[in-house]
Amino acid sequence: MKLVQLSIHNFRGIHSASLNFFDYNLLVGPNNAGKSTVIDAIRVFYEKDGFKFRPDRDVPFIVGADQDSWLELLFSLSNAEDSSLADDYRQDDKTLRVKKFLKIGDKNRDGSIFAYKNDGNLSAEPFYGAKNVQSGKFGDIVFIPAVSKIDEHTKLSGPSALRDLLTNVLEAVVASSASYEKFSKDFEAFAQGVKAERTDDGRSLAGLEADLGALLESWDTAFLLEMNSPSVADIIKTLLSYQCIDKAHGKALAADQFGSGFQRHFIYSLIQIGAKYVGKKPSKKTKDFVPSMTLILFEEPEAFLHPPQQENLAQSLTKLANNPDQQVICSTHSSHFVSRNAAHIPAIACLKRDSGLVSAFQIDTKSWDEIVDANQAMNKIAVKWPKLKARLEADDLRPEMEAVKYFLWLNPDRCGMFFANHVLIVEGPSEQSFINKLLGDGNIKRPSDGLYVLDSIGKFNMHRFMNLLTALGIQHSVIHDDDNSKDEHAEINQLIQDSKSVLTTAVCPVTGDLEALLEVSKPKSDHRKPQHLLFLHETGQITADRLRAFCVLVEGCLPKPPKEQKPERWMKPSEAGKGEIVIYQWEDGKAEG
């Protein structure tokens, strides 16, 4: 079983959203964009570890919207799982679609899960007749929060990943263990012997049993003491312990004495190895529907790991997700994680919050085909011009090349665009480095909601990044040289204009090129342009008026900051009486405070 799609209606900041899932999935976006909301919706569906829907926390108040709250999940099934599913629910495409009502004002439905039948209608009865079947009929989930103590995952006295792992192994071993059978017999002999043994002053368990029994005789009741052979749970809880050995010093340390990076890796290692040691439990009946799936929900897996470790973990998670019964969903702030998944862009879901409402953007098959078609417009221009046509290979004209190009371009640096609220697309490293320098020096005012300056590897690719950012719901703007609109540049400039969308804040052509605007010389080699431009700036060879003209151009492409409003007079809290309304006079009107 694998989760294919999740639809969310009125859950926290999400009014209505659908996300598609694959083996390995990434939820990206700026802070507070809604990534954790998606993960928590899945947790609410499964109710693992008592995580349940709470109306006071989970139902949003959205003006003009209904107040019903529900989740709908679509699963793909293996042949065996599909054949064991009740006939009413079996679909031709071997899928199972279920709906959990969180709050609709019907006590018979709130909190229950219903499945869609093969006639397209939702069943009137809860799925398999039970109110809470999350743990048995939809596999299991493992949730790793962004911040957690290692003890939560390694304790042996209560539920934890380590205890579950040990239980899976020991239960299988004990079932056919000659050692455990001998231990049980020896323990039985020990129990009988120690019960009869006495201390020097005559005390014994047998005597205690007899004395207490005698006192209860008038009630026609007997008292017996029993000492049972330890069960698997008893062995794990009371007889097992573990140590982590620091090989550098040869000392045993508690896991929480190691650094945060090690603890994070240790937690993941338990989950990774857990799949290897989970035994296959046969169904009691051939028609039992007990699908096999472990859905791993990992918040910020990159936490406390340096970049190479992040890339290794991303690779390990991808490999883990390739197992037929496992699936991984990560919420991340790491461009390294996104870069490792750039070969499969549809598995990246971008979350965005606007005025409190969360939207999810994802590139499905139809959207990808539209992007490919739009991107091919550059090839149609290129074939018209001999110089450009000579640079084309036959493979460049194939649609499959678009995916290859994005995979090559989306390195860890460029993947920073997925976490910005606004992306400024420029032609190359000269513009990128120069603008970043001016932003750092304060010559250009940085937008408060986050900005990423994207090197598009030339004007020929700008429309490609515009199309990608639009599909993922990311606001952007463009600065490019117009190259005096000569020859092929006239068509390329028009293609950039035609690629604008509602998310394109501005397209700002520079007359001629950047050097012409700044009135500076060009180096002999193009690859030296970035360092040459920064050197001219650092040595004061760019005039103040030309520098300011460029800064004004850039600022004109960026989101406008909210208007700063200053009251004519601030009243200190002590000046206002209790329950008194304080009126502030703003420049453009009145506001009650």
pLDDT digits (tens, 9 = 90+) for 402-454: 778 887 788 888 999 999 999 999 999 999 999 999 999 999 988 877 899 99
Q: Are 318 and 299 in a shared domain?
A: yes
**Residue spans of the chain under pLDDT 50:** 282-286, 564-593
Instruction: Identify whether 524 is part of a domain.
Output: yes
Instruction: Identify whether 252 is part of a domain.
Output: no
Instruction: Identify whether 245 is part of a domain.
Output: no
Q: Are 384 and 295 in a shared domain?
A: no
Q: Are 422 and 544 in a shared domain?
A: yes
Q: Are 51 and 89 in a shared domain?
A: yes
Residue in the structure block whose two tokens are 């009251």: 567
User: Could you say which of 305, 328, 359 is where a domain stops?
Assistant: 359
Q: 3-class DSSP state for residue 213?
A: helix
Q: Are 122 and 176 in a shared domain?
A: no
Q: Are 324 and 230 in a shared domain?
A: no
Q: Are 170 and 88 in a shared domain?
A: no
Q: What is the pLDDT of residue 113?
A: 94
- Give, in order, the Cα–Cα distances in Å from 289 to each of 36, 267, 286, 300, 384: 30, 31, 9, 33, 61
- CATH code of the domain containing 128: 3.40.50.300
Rounded to 5 degrees, φ, ψ at 170 are -65, -40
Instruction: Identify whether 477 is part of a domain.
Output: yes
Q: Are 553 and 570 in a shared domain?
A: no
Q: What is the pLDDT of residue 62?
A: 66
Q: Are 114 and 45 in a shared domain?
A: yes
Q: How far apart are CA 270 and CA 162, in angstroms?
A: 6
Q: Are 491 and 511 in a shared domain?
A: yes
Residue ranges making up the domain that contains 473: 364-557
Q: What is the pLDDT of residue 283?
A: 47
Q: What is the pLDDT of residue 389?
A: 73
Instruction: Identify whether 519 is part of a domain.
Output: yes
Q: How far apart are CA 24 and CA 298, in angstroms?
A: 11
Q: Which candidate, 134, 415, 146, places its Cα nearest to that of 298?
A: 146
∠ CA 181-183-187, nearest 5°, is 120
User: Could you say which of 328, 359, 390 is where a domain stops?
Assistant: 359
* Domains identified in the chain, total number: 4
Instruction: Identify whether 267 is part of a domain.
Output: no
Rounded to 5 degrees, φ, ψ at 451 are -135, 140
Instruction: Identify whether 396 is part of a domain.
Output: yes
User: Could you say which of 309, 330, 359 is where a domain stops?
Assistant: 359
What's the order of all strands across the beta sheet hosting 422-426? 451-455, 422-426, 475-481, 504-510
Q: What is the pLDDT of residue 149?
A: 76
Q: How far apart are CA 578 and CA 61, in angstroms?
A: 30
Q: Are 83 and 194 in a shared domain?
A: no
Q: Are 352 and 370 in a shared domain?
A: no
Residues 6+ apart with CB under 8 A from 107: none
Instruction: Identify whether 279 is part of a domain.
Output: no
Q: What is the pLDDT of residue 590?
A: 36
pLDDT digits (tens, 9 = 90+) for 120-173: 999 999 998 765 555 568 988 888 888 777 787 788 887 777 787 788 778 878
Q: What is the pLDDT of residue 571?
A: 37
Strand partners, 509: 480
Query: Would you state the structure tokens that stand for residue 547, as one six-digit string?
Result: 């520098």
Q: What is the pLDDT of residue 579?
A: 44
